[in-house]
Amino acid sequence: MAYNSPKVAVVILNWNGRRWLEQFLPSVLQNSPEAEIVVADNASQDDSVSFLRAQYPQVRLIQLPENLGFCEGYNQALRQVEATYYVLLNSDVEVTPNWLVPMLDLLEKNPPIAACQPKIKSFHQRTHFEHAGAAGGFLDAHGYPFCRGRLFDTVEEDRGQYDDTRPVFWATGACLLIRAEAYWKASGFEKRFFAHMEEIDLCWRLQNLGYHIYYQGHSTVYHVGGGTLPKSNPRKTFLNFRNGAALLYKNLADAEVDKILYTRLVLDGVAATQYFLKGEWKEVKAIYKAHRAFLADKPFWKEKRKEVPVKKRTHELTGWSQQSVVWEYFVKGKKEFSALEIPDSAALPA
């Protein structure tokens, strides 16, 4: 199907990623005839901008005045893009032929679906899923994110077990197709997050607004992962733990927020203890700083709670498991999504 209308824009947010653009932009240009290709540069200090101007004059370049992070970087860039659908694509992603069409078809035929992601596989281990998104995201009873195809650090081989189309709680920001109207109706990404957990927050707000979030297993991309911050990095640990607490406080229903948030903070303390026992002092310090930053910012997040017009109970949200994945994984040894026995809600919305 040719997508001359509605208009689709693939927007790549770049920060010092010339090597990724050089490696992966050709696949995006070759395999995305349905879309306008845009690179938004987050004030890179490498030669990304000169490289794009010299080698890819056909690619629209948006230059941001400073490094605004993933969240505000995309907010500022997307305000300058006219499209019916945005595709937020990491610079370290290789796309495949026909990758866009199944996702576009899904949203075109189902107006209640606000956003979806493809199958995310590992660029370096192409038979396996990739950590950031895999086959669609969920939250456990305590608000910990996990994916079909990835529980904590265990990543599954792709055996065709997730070649389906189904609703999920969240879709990864590494490759996210979203209706522009829905993105702005939900007020875009939360600027204060800077990076990490922002797509979960956005998808949560979209569900509260009555939209659905989907995984489209008939589209595949390959993700390097850790292109900006490596998987093990104190800055990344800080952002994940701070934003994880803020995510819950900001969005949980009044009847659940105190209990779930308190339990989560205790479990974060257990994680810090594990890092301590392994001698990973920087990670311990990052978690401590994350909790301190969250508590210092609590008045800000309290005001943000007021901006969420509807806060559904967790059992009303698609993809929120009532199980503790921490318990199932670390105590009971369940290493694959299928072992969790999470009910399948695969029906498309009416």
Q: Which of 5, 10, 14, 4 is nearest to 70 (CA)?
A: 14
Q: Which of 42, 31, 36, 43 is nearest to 58 (CA)?
A: 36
First to last CA, the chain: 23
pLDDT number for residue 308: 87
- Listed as own residue / partner, the contacts of 27-32 with beta carbons closer than 8 Å and 24 or more positions apart are 27/94, 27/95, 27/96, 28/89, 28/93, 28/95, 29/56, 29/58, 29/59, 31/95, 31/96, 31/97, 31/98, 31/99, 31/100, 32/95, 32/99, 32/100
Spatial neighbors of 227 by CB under 8 A, at least 6 apart, are: 17, 20, 90, 91, 92
| Pairing relationship of beta strands 113-122 and 212-223 according to DSSP bridges | parallel
In angstroms, the CA 233 to CA 188 distance is 26
Residue type (1 letter), 59: V
In angstroms, the CA 223 to CA 134 distance is 10
Q: Which of 92, 82, 77 is nearest to 227 (CA)?
A: 92
In angstroms, the CA 223 to CA 117 distance is 13
Report the half-sphere exposure of 34 (CA within 13 A, side-chain side).
22
Longest dimension (CA), the chain: 57
CA 245 to chain centre: 16
Asked if residues 191 and 243 have their Cβ atoms less than 8 Å apart, the reply is no
| Pairing relationship of beta strands 93-95 and 85-89 according to DSSP bridges | unpaired
Spatial neighbors of 270 by CB under 8 A, at least 6 apart, are: none
Please report, in tens digits, the pLDDT of each residue of the chain (350 residues total). 445 556 999 999 999 999 999 999 999 999 999 999 999 999 999 999 999 999 999 999 999 999 999 999 999 999 999 999 999 999 999 999 999 999 999 999 999 999 999 999 999 999 999 999 999 999 999 999 999 999 988 999 999 999 999 999 999 999 999 999 999 999 999 999 998 999 999 999 999 999 999 999 999 999 998 544 455 689 999 999 999 999 999 999 999 999 999 999 999 999 999 889 999 999 999 999 999 999 999 999 999 999 988 899 999 999 999 999 989 999 999 999 999 978 776 555 54
pLDDT number for residue 153: 87
